[in-house]
């Protein structure tokens, strides 16, 4: 990792922030996601628990973070647990972190192996009064899915039933929503790599190219610039497929006269970029495409003007939705009579705009954070209005990422072409 020093600072600062919120004489145990099988002996690609990543910067499987700020043993107030390296395992899976390597990334000096952590934890548990355990409390979580985090909680409570237990997620949600300057540095690097991929695609796109060929150009640029993966499954949707919000088949031909909606972002240092742009396959927007695109861009810029500390999330949603209604009316998609006679529970503009405008961004592309309190300084949000018109077989969405400051917000995508003129000019430079 080229930014190892920054990851060290991020993880160290994040642990300090969390420990300040802990009750006296308490221990916090952050247990990683289990490695899950797909079929036979095959397993899903490892993706560490986001809280463990946020606190340690370590992506290796079976990593744990333990914090006990009031521990009488000062050397064990922060403990990082790793899978013990062994020759046989490394022949199959490659290098595993050594203690000095893990300390350099995480800033934690006390490194323990998974096969002896029980003894370490038992001593801590016998001294501590309160235990913080982490669970997935993302508002978008599908609660019907099997969850290894809840299994760990159940096992721990059975083993130590007389302790007081607290939800680590309640603190994590508050803290992870506010990004430090070091987190923004890493995020900006992910965005800069995403910009390179977008500029590459604008030069590459042409009638007859397939969506998967465009996706290949994107991941090529990511990897050659040090981003190991997409932040999420990329959406490369040409023509009418752009109306499907999470279209990921990415396997159809892009035809002249169509637009390509591209929603993608690089993951770098475990932090996510999240970009959406629409470009004309043949390099030139039609008059109607420009009208719709500019309406979405107006809504985007209006939402940007509202995105600042002190804005209440429900008020922001109401105002941005009202702007989307205004743009749909201006484009002739709906009429004043439609608005007058609409069902308040299902407003007419929702036929053409059927998702939210903004979400938190961070280690997770849909990061944790409050949706009920005021927006605060340091929060990182997306803005992504869109219009999806079945009658015209077109879908347009425009998305940038914004960091809130005391004076308003900073557009981290400010260098990425956004207007129709900028996009057309870039596409001319094949």
The domain limits of the chain are 4-174, 181-428
pLDDT above 90 (res 5): no
Q: Report how far apart, in Å, the C-alpha atoms of 323 and of each of 318, 340, 403 are.
A: 9, 16, 22
Residue 140: predicted pLDDT: 77
pLDDT tens across 383-392, in order? 999 999 999 9
Residue 43: predicted pLDDT: 67
Q: Are 403 and 179 in contact (CB under 8 A)?
A: yes
CA distance 115 to 136: 25
Helix (H) or strand (E) holding 186: helix 181-204
If pLDDT is split at 50, 70 and 90, which confidence band does 3 have? low
CA distance 320 to 337: 21
Q: Are 187 and 154 in contact (CB under 8 A)?
A: no
Q: Are strands 110-113 and 78-82 parallel, antiparallel or unpaired?
A: parallel
Residue 424: predicted pLDDT: 97
Q: Please provide the average confidence, as pLDDT, over all residues in the chain.
A: 94
Strand locations in 31-95 (E): 64-67, 78-82
If pLDDT is split at 50, 70 and 90, which confidence band does 1 have? very low
CA distance 425 to 52: 44
Residue 149: predicted pLDDT: 82
pLDDT above 50 (res 335): yes
Residue 101 main-chain phi, psi, to 5 deg = -65, -45
What is the per-residue burial (b if ≥16 Cβ within 10 Å, else e) of 121-145? beebbeebeebbbbbbeeeeeeeee
Question: SS3 string of 277-336?
Answer: EEEECCCCCCHHHHHHHHHHHHHHHHHHHHCCCCCEHHHHHHHHHHHHHHHHHHCCCCCH
Q: Are 132 and 28 in contact (CB under 8 A)?
A: yes
Q: Are strands 64-67 and 78-82 parallel, antiparallel or unpaired?
A: antiparallel
CA distance 215 to 223: 13
pLDDT tens across 93-131, in order? 899 999 999 999 999 999 999 999 999 999 999 999 999
Q: Rg of the Cα trace of the chain?
A: 24
Residue 409 main-chain phi, psi, to 5 deg = -150, 160
Least confident piece of the model among 145-149, 245-249, 294-298, 412-416 = 145-149
Q: Are strands 271-272 and 266-268 parallel, antiparallel or unpaired?
A: antiparallel
Tokens 């977008």, residue? Answer: 198
The residue-averaged pLDDT of 388-410 equals 97
Q: Report how far apart, in Å, the C-alpha atoms of 428 and of each of 200, 204, 244 are.
A: 12, 10, 28
pLDDT tens across 18-76, in order? 999 999 999 999 998 777 677 777 766 777 899 999 999 999 999 999 999 999 999 99
pLDDT cut 90: percent of the chain above it: 87
The residue-averaged pLDDT of 319-346 equals 96
Least confident piece of the model among 24-28, 117-121, 146-150, 336-340 = 146-150
Residue 7: predicted pLDDT: 86
Tokens 């893990």, residue? Answer: 102
Classify domain 181-428 by CATH number: 3.90.230.10
pLDDT above 70 (res 373): yes
The residue-averaged pLDDT of 289-303 equals 98
- Which SS3 state, helix, strand or coil, does residue 206 take? coil
Show the tokens assigned to 366.
């849909």
Classify domain 4-174 by CATH number: 3.40.350.10
Q: Are 108 and 14 in contact (CB under 8 A)?
A: no
pLDDT above 60 (res 2): no
Q: Report how far apart, in Å, the C-alpha atoms of 159 and of each of 31, 162, 165, 237, 360 are.
A: 16, 9, 13, 51, 36
pLDDT tens across 323-334, in order? 999 999 999 999
pTM: 0.93
The residue-averaged pLDDT of 407-419 equals 96
If pLDDT is split at 50, 70 and 90, which confidence band does 274 have? very high
């Amino acid at each position: 990792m080229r930014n190892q020093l920054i990851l060290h600072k991020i993880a160290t600062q994040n642990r300090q922030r969390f420990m300040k919120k802990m009750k006296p004489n308490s221990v916090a145990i952050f247990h990683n996601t289990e490695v899950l099988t797909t079929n036979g002996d095959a397993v899903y690609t490892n993706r560490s628990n986001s809280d463990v990543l946020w606190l340690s910067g370590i992506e290796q499987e079976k990593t744990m973070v333990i914090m006990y700020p009031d521990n009488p043993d000062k050397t064990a107030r922060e403990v990082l647990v790793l899978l013990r390296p062994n020759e046989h395992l490394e022949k199959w899976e490659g290098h595993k972190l050594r203690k000095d390597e893990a300390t350099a990334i995480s800033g934690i000096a006390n490194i323990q192996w998974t096969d002896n952590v029980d003894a370490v934890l038992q001593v801590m548990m016998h001294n501590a009064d309160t235990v913080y355990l982490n669970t997935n409390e993302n508002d978008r979580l599908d609660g019907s899915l099997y969850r290894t985090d809840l299994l760990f909680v159940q096992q721990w409570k059975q083993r130590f039933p007389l302790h007081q237990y607290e939800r680590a997620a309640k603190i994590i949600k508050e803290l992870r929503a506010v990004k430090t300057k070091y987190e923004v540095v890493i995020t900006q690097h992910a965005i800069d790599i995403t910009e390179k991929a977008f500029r590459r695609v604008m030069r590459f796109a042409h009638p007859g190219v397939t969506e998967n060929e465009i996706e290949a150009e994107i991941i090529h640029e990511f990897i050659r610039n040090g981003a190991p993966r997409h932040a999420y499954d990329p959406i490369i949707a040409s023509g009418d497929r752009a109306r499907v919000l999470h279209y990921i088949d990415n396997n159809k031909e892009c035809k002249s006269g169509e637009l390509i909606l591209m929603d993608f972002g690089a993951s770098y240092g475990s932090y996510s970029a999240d970009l959406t742009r629409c470009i004309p396959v043949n390099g030139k927007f039609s008059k109607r495409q420009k009208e719709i695109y500019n309406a979405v861009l107006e809504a985007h810029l209006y939402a940007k003007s509202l995105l600042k500390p002190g804005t209440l999330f429900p008020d922001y949603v109401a105002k941005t939705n009202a702007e989307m209604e205004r743009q749909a009316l201006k484009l002739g998609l709906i009429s004043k009579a439609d608005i007058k006679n609409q069902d308040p529970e299902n407003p007419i503009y929702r036929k053409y705009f059927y998702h939210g405008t903004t979400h938190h961004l961070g280690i997770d592309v849909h990061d944790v954070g409050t949706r009920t309190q005021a927006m605060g300084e340091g929060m990182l949000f997306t803005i992504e209005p869109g219009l999806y018109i079945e009658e015209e077989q077109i879908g347009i969405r425009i998305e940038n990422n914004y960091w809130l400051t005391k004076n308003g917000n900073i557009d981290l995508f400010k260098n990425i072409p956004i207007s129709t003129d900028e996009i057309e000019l870039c596409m001319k430079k094949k």
